[in-house]
């Protein structure tokens, strides 16, 4: 389960989305944006798994907001949905290349589908459609937070679980320690990047040899999970 951030110009769309995303299993954080065109990272610690921009009827404004959000630290490769009223479709380019458009009114099913499409563009399996992630005998149930290996439960601490979940749902990509610290632990943590090494070691020990071998150390870069 991951965070979804909502940048809402249009409070009504924002509220609808907040409720629906909760239903889909996201933890949602919303920021309402007034007339001023500035956006900031939300104070929340972790980098989100999804960003939604809602901007009602103004097409130019929507496009501007999406660009601004993309430019924020750590948000360049997060799936982005752009939710608008139908009247905004009249003119101009609405979304960037990697972004998914959502036109009101939409159903929960459509929302789930759009998130799936946006996520796949970034090579992610981390959308609510996939509640259970399997890599051979290793199974992570994202809804119940339980991990099993060949059907046997394995006990992780919360941070071990979060690290494993993140790497397994972002497979075949190298993450620097600093990036993992920001995305998994959050910005307010001051245990230092060595904490990442400690947790990787612990996760490997619990995974056992076969699965531990998938969690690669990439020398002087960071870590990668191979699927």
Partner 1 sequence: MNVENFSIDLDTTYVLRTVEERGVRFVRLWFVDVMGTLKSFSVPSSELEQALAEGVSIDGSSLEGTVRLRERDMIARPDPRTFQLLPWSRTPPVGRMFCDIRSPDGIPFPGDSRHALRAAVARASELGYTFQVGCELEFFLFAEATEDGEIPRPLDRGAYFDLTPRDEGSDFRRQTIEHLEQMGIPVKASHHEVGPSQHEIQLQYHDAQSMADAVSTFRLVVKEVAHEQGIYATFMPKPLENESGSGMHLHLSLFEGESNAFYGGYGEPLSSIGQQFLAGVLTHARELTVVTNPWVNSYKRLGGGFEAPSHADWTRHGREALVRVPSARPGRPSAARIEVRSPDPSCNPYLALALLLAAGLRGIERGYELPPEAEDQAPVGAPRLPEDLREATALFAESELAHETLGERLCEWYVANAQREWCDYQRTVTEFERRRYLPIL
Binding residues for partner 1, rule: CB under 8 A, are 1, 18-19, 22, 27-32, 40, 42-44, 144-146, 153, 155, 157-162, 177-178, 190-195, 198, 201-202, 205-206
Nearer to partner 1, 95 or 126 (CB): 126
Least distance in Å: CB of 157 to partner 1? 5
Least distance in Å: CB of 206 to partner 1? 8
Nearer to partner 1, 91 or 220 (CB): 220
Nearer to partner 1, 109 or 153 (CB): 153
Nearer to partner 1, 94 or 133 (CB): 133
Nearer to partner 1, 101 or 193 (CB): 193
Least distance in Å: CB of 86 to partner 1? 26
Least distance in Å: CB of 19 to partner 1? 8
Between helix 194-212 and helix 158-169 the angle, nearest 10°, is 70
Instruction: Classify 7 as helix, strand or coil.
Output: strand
Least distance in Å: CB of 195 to partner 1? 6
Least distance in Å: CB of 158 to partner 1? 5
How long is the chain?
A: 227
Nearer to partner 1, 75 or 193 (CB): 193
């Amino acid at each position: 389960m991951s965070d979804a951030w909502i940048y809402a110009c249009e409070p009504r769309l924002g509220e609808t989305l907040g409720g629906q995303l909760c239903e889909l299993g996201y933890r949602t954080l919303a920021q309402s944006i007034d007339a001023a065109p500035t956006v900031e990272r939300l104070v929340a610690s972790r980098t989100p798994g999804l960003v939604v921009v809602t901007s009602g009827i103004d097409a130019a404004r929507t496009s501007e907001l999406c660009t601004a959000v993309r430019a924020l630290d750590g948000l360049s490769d997060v799936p982005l949905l752009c939710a608008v009223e139908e009247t905004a479709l009249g003119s101009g380019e609405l979304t960037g290349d990697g972004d998914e458009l959502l036109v009101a009114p939409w159903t929960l099913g459509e929302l789930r589908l759009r998130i799936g499409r946006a996520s796949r563009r970034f090579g992610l399996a981390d959308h609510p459609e996939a509640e259970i992630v399997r890599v051979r005998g290793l199974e992570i149930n994202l809804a119940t937070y339980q991990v099993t290996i060949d059907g046997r439960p394995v006990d992780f601490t919360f941070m071990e679980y979060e690290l494993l979940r993140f790497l397994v749902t972002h497979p075949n990509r190298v993450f620097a320690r600093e990036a993992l610290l920001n995305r998994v632990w959050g910005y307010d943590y001051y245990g230092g990047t060595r904490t990442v090494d400690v947790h990787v070691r612990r996760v490997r020990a619990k995974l056992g040899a076969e699965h531990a071998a998938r969690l690669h150390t990439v020398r002087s870069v960071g870590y990668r999970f191979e699927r």
